[in-house]
Amino acid sequence: MTIRNILVPVAALALFGVLWELLVWVNGWPNYVMASPSDLPPAYARYWELFIVMGWQTLWRTVVGLVLAIVVGVLLGMVMGFSKLMRDALYPLLVGFNAIPKATLVPIVALLFVGQHNFNTVMIAFLISFFPIAVSVSIGLSTLEPEYRDILRSLGASKTTIFWKIALPKTLPEFFGALKVAVTLAFIGTNLMEIVSPHGRGLGALFDSGKTNSDYPLMFAVLIALALMGIVLYYVVVALEKIFAGWAERSPSY
């Protein structure tokens, strides 16, 4: 990673903060209408212990839900990618399920598993993030050029060898592209459960507390904390992509 790769995102975030501050200042909004970036440091200083504890609660449950989504999504994608019959059977089910607003699933899951707060939160994070992974893996495998399969089969390669040597590497760029989307979706799922079905855990609960007490700087501080956690996890995925699928990255022409 070059200095440019670090400075450009940091500069973009700084510019966003400046524009946000100017927007609030120009419109003369009080912090109970729109908090500005300058209102956030006092909120972090006042509630820093809660941010650490609840931020960790949100993070680990999001990561567990994401890992579960990766496992299930890859398995489903492999089934659909290698079998046209299963692809035709499962695609409508997956699309229909993904079309259901996940906020409507939160009370259903909460009622099914009463008191299982961690399980419920991980489940919603998983349910909202596995779809793009399954679809990307399925597309990557189903579009594998038949010539590669025929050549390897003529050389005596088994289906397992074809998968590990050709199919899996070809699918990695699509997989990591979908994983970048799934990271943000997993955070959305976690916070949906924390806010819609409050149980006093996670940044969603801290946001809900700020809303109840009309502490708008705290609410915006929670939103920015969630955004930063999502950015960090996104760049973890980017680093893994460079390690395992760096060969697929095209150098810019400028």
Instruction: Kindly state whether residue 214 falls inside one of the protein's structural domains.
Output: yes
Mean pLDDT in residue range 108-135:
87
Half-sphere exposure of 130 (CA within 13 A, CB side): 21
Q: Please name the residue that has the structure tokens 């990271």.
A: 183
Q: Which domain holds residue 97?
A: 48-245
Instruction: Kindly state whether residue 40 falls inside one of the protein's structural domains.
Output: no
pLDDT score at 254? 46
pLDDT score at 4? 77
Q: Minimum mean pLDDT among 73-77, 99-103, 227-231: which range?
A: 99-103
Instruction: Kindly state whether residue 37 falls inside one of the protein's structural domains.
Output: no
Instruction: Kindly state whether residue 113 falls inside one of the protein's structural domains.
Output: yes
Instruction: Kindly state whether residue 27 falls inside one of the protein's structural domains.
Output: no
Q: Is the pLDDT of residue 167 over 90?
A: no
What percentage of residues in the chain have a pLDDT greater than 70? 91
* CATH of residue 180: 1.10.3720.10
When comparing pLDDT for 174 and 179, which is higher? 179
CB 184 within 8 A of CB 175: no
Could you give the CA distance from residue 204 to residue 206 in angstroms, rounded to a whole number? Answer: 5
For the stretch 61-86, pLDDT in tens is 999 999 999 999 989 988 888 788 88
Using only the alpha carbons of the chain, give its radius of gyration: 22
Instruction: Kindly state whether residue 227 falls inside one of the protein's structural domains.
Output: yes
Instruction: Kindly state whether residue 180 falls inside one of the protein's structural domains.
Output: yes
pLDDT score at 159? 67
Count of domains for the chain: 1
